[in-house]
Amino acid sequence: MPASQPRSRARDRNNVLNRAEFLSLNQPLKGNQESRSSSRKQSGQAGAAGAQNSNPKERRQSQQLPEEDCMQLNPSFKGIAFNSLLAIDICMSKRLGVCANRASSWGGARSMINLLGITGHGIPWIAGTLICLVKSSTLAGQEVLMNLLLALLMDIMIVAGLQKLAKRKGPYDITPGLLDYLTMDTYAFPAGHASRVAMLSKFFLNHLVLAIPLRILLVLWALCVGFSRVMIGRHHITDVLSGFVFGYLQFRLVELIWMSSNTCQMLISIW
């Protein structure tokens, strides 16, 4: 044992790697270790501070599950069908907007189409109903006219509320007219003219005695007024169709809350 110790010491002395200049190859210096650990701590602290200062929306997006990403990349069949129908509606509405401006294919007929649309506007109908109500002398006529006035006012309020909720723009960037602003008919969905003419035609068919030719003309008038709004680029096709549906529902609502003759006379006396 005593003889082996001097031999091992001599071997260590003769080993080149044990010299001072090669000492860093065997074991790293403490200074390097401390600098590396401090840099790692600083980077970790910076990352934590960045994560705290990051936007909550970005944090939510980073925490999204893979399944949610797959759902966004692969939409459902209902979403694809709805977007496809919406694209078809916009495309067809733009093609049918033949009187949207003077440069359109039917631009010369724009004035006549606008005149047809005025026949379905709310302000002329309300003014005409009030005039007829003042001049009416029969109880039955006053009852019908008072309920018609109620239906017209209800139509303006319901359509204006639905348009404010939907806030859908028309296929063309067309500024609403003065009469449209008065009846708050500034958005596209649902079409106020379509709902009004549908309600009026159904109301007249139920409460007026008309010959068959007049009944056919009344239905044709309602259809022409509704689709004239598509021709001038004010509404989409679905806006007009939904307007017809809402107009029929409004008529059913007026029939449910129909005011009797006594109620109408009481309101007229107050007025």
For the chain, the domains span 107-270
Query: 145 with 268: CB under 8 angstroms?
Result: no
Which tens digits make up the pLDDT trace of 98-147?
A: 887 777 778 788 888 888 888 998 889 999 999 998 888 888 889 999 99
Give pTM, 2 decimals.
Answer: 0.69
Question: Distance between CA 260 and CA 88 in Å, rounded?
Answer: 46
- Active site annotation includes 193: yes
Query: 160 with 187: CB under 8 angstroms?
Result: no
Which of 21-30, 74-83, 92-101, 147-156 is the least confident region? 21-30
Question: Distance between CA 166 and CA 239 in Å, rounded?
Answer: 11
- Helix 192-207 and helix 122-135, axial crossing angle in degrees, nearest 10: 30
Tell me the two tokens of residue 130.
């009030």
pLDDT above 70: residue 12? no
Query: 87 with 80: CB under 8 angstroms?
Result: no
pLDDT above 80: residue 188? yes
Q: Which carries the bigger pLDDT value, residue 114 or residue 197? A: 197
247 falls in which pLDDT band (50, 70, 90)?
Answer: very high
Q: Which carries the bigger pLDDT value, residue 183 or residue 49? A: 183
DSSP string, 193-260: HHHHHHHHHHHHHHHS---HHHHHHHHHHHHHHHHHHHHTTSS-HHHHHHHHHHHHHHHHHHHHTPPP
pLDDT above 60: residue 25? no
In one letter, which amino acid is 232? I
Query: 147 with 254: CB under 8 angstroms?
Result: yes
pLDDT above 70: residue 36? no
Question: What is the mean pLDDT of the segment spanning 241-265?
Answer: 92
Q: Which carries the bigger pLDDT value, residue 3 or residue 113? A: 113
The pLDDT of residue 136 is 86
Question: What is the mean pLDDT of the segment spanning 185-211?
Answer: 91
- Active site annotation includes 121: no
* Residue 89, CB-side half-sphere exposure with 13 Å CA sphere: 17
**Which residue among 121, 207, 235, 236 is the active-site one?**
235
Q: Which carries the bigger pLDDT value, residue 267 or residue 193? A: 193
